Amino acid sequence: MTISSSPWLVSTEWLSTRAEEIAAEHNAQVLPDAETLIAADYTDAVIIASSTETHCPLMLAAVRAGKKVYCEKPLASTLTEAHDVDTAMVTLRTASGALCQIDNARRAVYGFDDRIEIFGTGGLAESSRITEGSVMRIFDDKILTEGLPKDPMIRMAPSYAAAIQAFTLFVRDYGQPDAAPVPGVYDGLRAQMMAEAATRAASERRIVSLAEIESEIR
């Protein structure tokens, strides 16, 4: 990858003075915009971790330039009206028939809570939150558990590192017979469709299928 053998490149449309200072400190180059960096011959891959409204145009620019792309979720902002939901639960049925339930609560008494449970004929799989400790105290009228780590990166850093590593290996091994598969644009689109269906279901108070959302974008 170019990143390991060439000077660091900084692409920015704002804070130009600070960008020049940082570039001078690190023997880097300041470019006028992200599109210039994306289109450059020395750019092998693009990681998009900017604000949500920039995801779609930057991703399209990278794809059209023939670059390999890693884009943070979501792929785009498609909802015309934002809904602030404190607690949400999504139930899905997988292709194998197993039920998958995803719960998320921002203001739970024990802190931000998110968990996933998958039920099937062969058993149960669960992914729960990581807490500061493992102590639970049960009383007649309440249950007390330790909350989540104050720094969210304690929970998310390993996942981010694994995702970036997988993308880096994909770029390095691209075209090789034993290259590991990675999620594509359609996987990101499916995640966006799930979010759209959940938001519409909450707003219209009805069951919304993924087939309904998919029929509108084809």
**82-101: average pLDDT:** 70
For residue 15, the model assigns a pLDDT of 64
Among all chains, which residue has been given the structure tokens 């197993």? 98
Six-digit token string for 110: 């024990």
Check pLDDT > 80 for residue 184.
Answer: no
| Residue 38, burial from CB neighbour count under 10 angstroms (0-12, 13-18, 19+) | buried
**CATH topology assigned to domain 9-71:** Rossmann fold (3.40.50)
In this prediction, residue 4 has a pLDDT band, given cuts at 50, 70 and 90, of very low
For residue 143, the model assigns a pLDDT of 73
Beta bridge partners of 156: none
E strand residue ranges, 32-146: 45-48, 68-71, 87-93, 99-105, 113-120, 123-127, 136-138, 143-145
State the pTM of this model. 0.52
Share of the chain above pLDDT 70, in %: 75
Contact (CB, 8 A) for 33 and 52: no
Summarised one tens digit per residue, pLDDT across range 105-116 is: 655 555 556 677
Entry field: residues in the chain: 218
Summarised one tens digit per residue, pLDDT across range 14-29 is: 567 878 888 889 888 8
Round to whole Å and give the CA distance between 150 and 20.
35
User: Of the ranges 55-64, 90-99, 157-166, which is most confident?
Assistant: 55-64
Domain boundaries along the sequence of the chain = 9-71, 86-150
E strand residue ranges, the chain: 9-11, 29-31, 45-48, 68-71, 87-93, 99-105, 113-120, 123-127, 136-138, 143-145
For residue 178, the model assigns a pLDDT of 79
Give the C-alpha distances (Å, rounded to integers) separating 160 from 74, 153, 156, 163.
15, 9, 6, 5
In this prediction, residue 169 has a pLDDT band, given cuts at 50, 70 and 90, of confident
**155-175: average pLDDT:** 83
For residue 152, the model assigns a pLDDT of 64
Chain centroid to CA 86: 19
Summarised one tens digit per residue, pLDDT across range 204-218 is: 888 888 889 888 876
Summarised one tens digit per residue, pLDDT across range 109-151 is: 555 566 777 877 778 887 776 677 777 778 887 777 776 666 6
For residue 100, the model assigns a pLDDT of 80
Cβ-proximal residues to 63 (8 Å cutoff; 6+ apart), any chain: 69, 185
For residue 62, the model assigns a pLDDT of 92
Check pLDDT > 60 for residue 12.
Answer: no
